[in-house]
Amino acid sequence: MNDNFNTNETDINVNGLHIENSFMNGLNDPEDRVDGRAKVTGAAKYSAEFTHPNMAYGFLVGSAIAKGSISSLDTKAAERAPGVLGVITYLNAPKIPGYDAGENPAKGPTWGGGLKIFNSDRIYYYGQPVALVIADTLERVHHAAGLIRAKYNKETHTTDLEQNTSKAAAPKNARLGDYKRGEGDVYKTALVVVEAEYRMPIEVHNPMEPHATIAVWEGDKVTVYEKTQGVKDTQRSIMNAFKLKAEDVKVIAHYVGGGFGAALRTWPHAIAAVMGARKIGRPLKLVLHREQMFNNVGYRPEAIQKIGIGATKEGKLTGITHEAYSQTSTYEEFTEGITAMSRFMYACPNVVTKYRIMPLDLSTPTWMRGPGEATGAFALESAIDELSYALDLDPIELRLRNHADTDPERNRPFSSKYLKECYQMGADAIGWWTRNRKPRSMQEDGWLVGYGVSSGTFGAFRGGASVLARLNSDGSLLLQSAVSDSGPGTATAMTQIASQSMGLPPSKITFQLGDSSLPPGPTQGGSMTTATLGSAVHEAGETLKAKLAELVVTAGHFHEAKREELVFSEGGISMKNDPSKKISYSELFKAANIPALEITQESKPPGGGNYSMYSFSVHFVKVRVHPSTGVVRVARVVTCGDAGKIVSPKTAASQMIGGVVGGIGMALTEEAAIDHRYGRIINNNLADYHLPVHADVPHTEVLFVNKPDPIINPMGSKGMGEIALIGFAPAVTNAIYHATGKRIREIPVTPDKVMMQS
Ligand code: MOS
């Protein structure tokens, strides 16, 4: 057990999580995860773990070319193999009515299909499913899948972004179009100039839980157990694809073993499973293998970015030009805000951004934690660091001199911004001010030592959601909403909000999620679950209390009471100024002749606010770099968040630590390598695609400003899933520069890059 593990009443230090004492009241007790026990005991059931009588098993056979068409498909041997119940290909696939509704190929969000699986002989990417084999056991389906023989008309594929940046074009998505504030390319005329190119490869989400679908038809109704970050989104996708009504499609995802964005869409394999189950008339389970997770469920696209940045000799920015080149597939346009952060992060009068995408013969990329901004921050925050050394100015000082007090992109105030506090508390915690600022000046035990800093930001969003709340006569509270939890601890955070609102201990509250038949909740993406659903839970509490106050009066109890004069607690309701006047919930409900008090709360963000809403983070990293092997070890991390008021301290801190783990991978190890001769990812397994392991992750301190945002929602909480990762990788590469004097502009920084750079 960690020596620092200590959860007494007045201080908390869990895995490096430090929280001020004043913070330890009411809402913000460091509650354990409400589903922690179920998860560690194995009682929590993930999508692939469900089973049904007569359930069959599916396996997807992938194409062996990256571009072309299928010339012949021989499925006879597979069909004759023992236990095989069916083989579905484009030649015999049942019609998916939704395929005809949209353009060809179908666009993402309308029904989430993207690639229309088994709809034609066209091949758009290596590993694209060409056959779904179904058998009565997993072993038999694997055997039969090996008997499928496909021949192709191969066409010349293009999978290399670097060789094709000149062909990249502006996206159709106008929000990500070219941007100009002030004059163009002003940086070139500045006294101090940094001009550099930054590269990063494809990264793959690789959640521990692979994607899995179990489809169970009963007549014309289907229940789908699916790994998804949005049960309502998946329900809608299946409704749209199969032209079904909402009451005929039920999507279940009680637990999700990590998503990071890979489960934000309903991917073609899920459509195939639903199609296959209907065709054979039996429940069907389809689980993607790890190799299939590399090219069928999205990835963070490769990016080549050019930054030009200029400053006065006092370190005032005069111009930023940020150009980004990235990729999409040939059958869909995927875009993300790679250049977004450069527009508003610093108070700079002249900013130009340009974003170009190149359609490649690979599957469509998708959002991956900190989508867009994590990529953009690597370039921008590296360039700012380079500029600080060019100016001989501390990198934090440079950032402070160019701090944007208001949003320079939209010319309006931020709803809240405590970025300066993040710099301050993190710098103090890691001992930033006592380091020797000169590169390659610090050593420990024969290793070069360096410190790096970087900031991150992401929009703080709030959407609409609804929640059912039922207060029972024993003072227990049931909450339900159709939201998924991919790991951050949604049920825990919602329990804490309800506990605060209703004066009930968390043990009396149950939060149910992961079922599309519950009242519609948000998709778990874009760091907006707590801000969105938390608002609904908070408002549900207000509604319950208002109704209870009415019941108190109509039931003839302390009938002059106004709601503000009542105290709500586990035992019931009492008068604030006279605690002897009280009534239990069971008495109250009996008097009102109702079994329980149940409401469905709908919550919408109030419109019309003229604010820019963002969360901010600052990451501090200490690295050790071995001078003769080039090995980089992250030795210490202090990560600071301005995510508004922290609702659930333990799960929030874990979320930040998760971002650090992802950030270490991004900086040092993660890279999907494509063999362009075949257009395929060759390290498509966890042995060759290197995710950080425990030994790679040092002691991590998480610090929160913990000041409420007055605008975004009643809790004052801003999102934090994305900012945990955004900006972390450049903090590492900046630290490597400080340790070695070598500026490495291509991640991941593997030892060869450290050694080869002079
Ligand atoms: Mo996140 S990329 O919004 O799952």
264 CA: nearest ligand 1 atom: 4
**Per the structure block, which two tokens stand in for 214?**
């179990």
pLDDT of amino acid 23? 37
pLDDT of amino acid 31? 86
Among 328, 346, 347, residue whose Cα is nearest residue 336: 328
Q: Is the CB of 649 inside a 6 Å radius of any atom of ligand 1?
A: no
pLDDT of amino acid 176? 87
pLDDT of amino acid 558? 84
In eight-state DSSP terms, residue 169 is: B
Among 490, 47, 488, residue whose Cα is nearest residue 258: 488
pLDDT of amino acid 12? 38
Distance 488 CA to ligand 1 centre (A): 12
629 exposed, middle or buried (CB, 10 Å; 0-12, 13-18, 19+)?
A: exposed
Q: Taking the C-alpha atoms of 378, 384, 385 and 390 in order, what is their torsion angle to the nearest 10 degrees?
A: 140
Q: Is the CB of 260 inside a 6 Å radius of any atom of ligand 1?
A: yes
From the candidates 9, 539, 722, 746, give the one annotated as an active-site residue: 722
Q: Is the CB of 525 inside a 6 Å radius of any atom of ligand 1?
A: yes
Question: Do β-strands 447-459 and 582-583 pair in parallel, antiparallel, or remain unpaired?
Answer: unpaired
C-alpha pair distances (Å), 755 with each of 340, 488, 744, 747: 33, 38, 11, 14
Distance 691 CA to ligand 1 centre (A): 18
Q: What is the pTM of this model?
A: 0.95
721 CA: nearest ligand 1 atom: 1
- At 83-129, the pLDDT tens digits run 999 999 999 999 998 887 554 443 444 445 589 999 999 999 999 99
Q: Could you give the CA distance from residue 363 to residue 171 in angstroms, rounded to a whole number?
A: 17
For 737, other C-beta atoms within 10 Å of its C-beta total 22
**Per the structure block, which two tokens stand in for 142?**
């694997």
Among 176, 193, 188, 666, residue whose Cα is nearest residue 383: 193
Q: Is the CB of 368 inside a 6 Å radius of any atom of ligand 1?
A: yes
pLDDT of amino acid 555? 86
Counting ligand 1 atoms within 8 A of each CB, the residue from 204, 205, 335, 369 with the most, and so the one to mutate, is 369
pLDDT of amino acid 113? 55
Distance 230 CA to ligand 1 centre (A): 11
Task: Report the sign of the C-alpha dihedral through residues 745, 747, 753, 754, in that order.
Answer: positive
Distance 612 CA to ligand 1 centre (A): 20
For 13, other C-beta atoms within 10 Å of its C-beta total 16
CB contact set of 283 (below 8 Å; sequence gap of 6+): 52, 53, 54, 55, 56, 214, 215, 216, 217, 277
Is position 550 annotated as part of the catalytic site? no
Transcribe 311-351 into DSSP letters: E-TT--EEEEEEEEEEEEESSS-----TTHHHHHSB--S-E
pLDDT of amino acid 174? 76
527 CA: nearest ligand 1 atom: 3
Q: For the chain, list residues with pLDDT below 70.
A: 1-28, 101-113, 608, 757-758
Counting ligand 1 atoms within 8 A of each CB, the residue from 204, 206, 233, 264 with the most, and so the one to mutate, is 264
- At 134-150, the pLDDT tens digits run 999 999 999 999 999 99
pLDDT of amino acid 758? 61
525 CA: nearest ligand 1 atom: 3
Map residue 84 onto helix, strand or coil: strand
Counting ligand 1 atoms within 8 A of each CB, the residue from 260, 299, 532 with the most, and so the one to mutate, is 260
- Sheet with 465-472, side-by-side order of all strands: 509-512, 477-480, 465-472, 596-603
Q: Is the CB of 369 inside a 6 Å radius of any atom of ligand 1?
A: yes
Distance 631 CA to ligand 1 centre (A): 31
Distance 396 CA to ligand 1 centre (A): 29
Q: What are phi and psi of 696, to 5 degrees?
A: -90, -10
